Chains A and B, each alone.
Chain A
Amino acid sequence: MHDVSTAWIVIPVFNEDRVIAQVVEETAAVFPNIVCVDDGSSDNTEEQIYGSKAHLIKHPINLGQGAALQTGIAYALAQPGMKYVITFDADGQHRVEDAINMLEIAAAGDLDVVLGSRFLNANTGIPWIKRVVLRTAAALSPTSRKLKLTDAHNGLRVMNRKAASMLQITMNGMAHASEIVAFLARSGLRIQEAPVTVRYTDYSKAKGQSLINGVNILFDISIRQRGM
């Protein structure tokens, strides 16, 4: 197995005080290095992280998930011995086994980036409406097609040091997922998808993005692609 102490788990956190401590605890059972970026939460998220084994970074104001990811990655890059960054959602929808598996794939195949996909496994328990929308988003996006991705909006990603230091997320809000894919398509890095299972608990479903937010994402992306 690949040495997990060279991997840093980055978790952007915004108002997740009910689950974040448990998510960190589960992850810490395998990964010794975890950094949680509290994105200016108004609940007790900060205290929950403080009491956990994770490194705590606190945004003084709420900036958005994309900004929190970038902050966590910047912090991880400054840590000695860091070779891999693993991005992870705070709501408990990702499984630690999948992260280990993806890290293995990245290390074994000498890949720069491994992206989690909900759709490589046959049976995944994804609500059908979400499946249709996500598949459509992946199919419509020219960059996703170029990389032959099946799932463009999965929060579980493994990046090696090279990929992580090249990545510059400028989309503070939720459009960062598309931005990352667009960056990867341009970058020429070695990329692969790996099957993951997403746990759709009632909590993560309630927390997940509403589909109408897709309109905002499309708008942000289209303005940006015109040369910002």
Chain B
Amino acid sequence: MVIQIILLAGAILLLTVFVRQWDRVRTRAWKRLAFLAFVGANVYAIVRPQDTTWVAKQMGVGRGTDLILYLLVIGVAFITLNTYMRFRSMEKKITDLARTIAIRDAQVLNQDRISLLNDTMRVSSAAAQAPTPEVEHAHSPGS
């Protein structure tokens, strides 16, 4: 049937195009055009419902309602994928932001903390815990 080929091709196209070229300007433009076409088709189907059945018949689908259902399935798949991608890219931005903050704070925090710790360690370590004999002390840390 024609409809099966069209629907399958649509699904494959969506997967490849939107996963491969996600967020490129051109892809975004096509997404918007697709949205406009979607709204246009919507209006048309509301005004002349019998026409959707005619289109469906041409494609080998029984009723216009079924055709719209099939198209919706592809639409939902696309939206799911699109949302997933968007979340991924947002997550990346948040991660970069949080990492920058965390490292900046840590540098300030640890500068004081570690030098203090090292001082107390030097006093106690001489007596108490002798580190593993092979450990070299050529470079002392935190210099």
Enumerate chain A interface residues (CB-CB to B < 8 A).
Answer: 1, 3-6, 29-30, 32-33, 37, 50, 53, 55-61, 63, 67, 70-71, 74-75, 78, 80-81, 170, 172, 223, 226-228
**Smallest distance from the beta carbon of A87 to chain B beta carbons, Å?**
16
The 10 nearest A-B residue pairs measured at CB:
A57-B106, A1-B134, A55-B110, A226-B19, A32-B141, A227-B20, A5-B139, A71-B99, A3-B136, A57-B102
Pairwise interchain contact B102-A226, C-beta atoms closer than 8 A: no
Pairwise interchain contact A3-B106, C-beta atoms closer than 8 A: no
Q: How far is the CA of A170 from the CA of B88 in the complex (A)?
A: 10
Say which one of B3-11, B67-75, B113-121 lies at the interface with A.
B113-121
Q: List 10 A-B contacts (CB under 8 A).
A: A3-B138, A4-B136, A5-B136, A56-B109, A56-B110, A57-B106, A67-B95, A74-B103, A81-B141, A226-B20
Please tell me which one of the listed residues A37, A56, A170 contacts residue B92 in the complex, with CB atoms under 8 A apart: A170
Residues of A contacting B22 in the complex (Cβ-Cβ under 8 angstroms): 227-228
A contact face: mostly helix, strand, loop, or mixed: loop
Q: How large is the interface on B (under 10, 10 to 19, 20 to 34, 35 or more residues)?
A: 35 or more
**Smallest distance from the beta carbon of A63 to chain B beta carbons, Å?**
5
Residues of A contacting B140 in the complex (Cβ-Cβ under 8 angstroms): 5
B135 interfacial by beta-carbon distance below 8 Å: yes
Q: How far is the CA of A3 from the CA of B136 in the complex (A)?
A: 6
Q: How far is the CA of A75 from the CA of B100 in the complex (A)?
A: 10
Interface residues of B in 107-129 (CB under 8 A from A): 107, 109-110, 113-114, 117, 121, 129
Pairwise interchain contact A53-B117, C-beta atoms closer than 8 A: yes
Residues of B contacting A60 in the complex (Cβ-Cβ under 8 angstroms): 98, 101-102
Interface residues of B in 47-76 (CB under 8 A from A): none
Enumerate chain B interface residues (CB-CB to A < 8 A).
Answer: 19-20, 22, 84-85, 88, 91-92, 94-95, 98-99, 101-103, 105-107, 109-110, 113-114, 117, 121, 129, 131-132, 134-141, 143
Additional 11 contacts, C-beta under 8 A, given A6-B139, A228-B19: A3-B139, A4-B136, A5-B137, A5-B138, A30-B135, A53-B121, A56-B106, A60-B102, A74-B103, A170-B92, A226-B19
Q: Considering only CB atoms, which chain A residue lies closest to B114 in the complex?
A: A55
Pairwise interchain contact A29-B129, C-beta atoms closer than 8 A: yes
Pairwise interchain contact B135-A55, C-beta atoms closer than 8 A: no
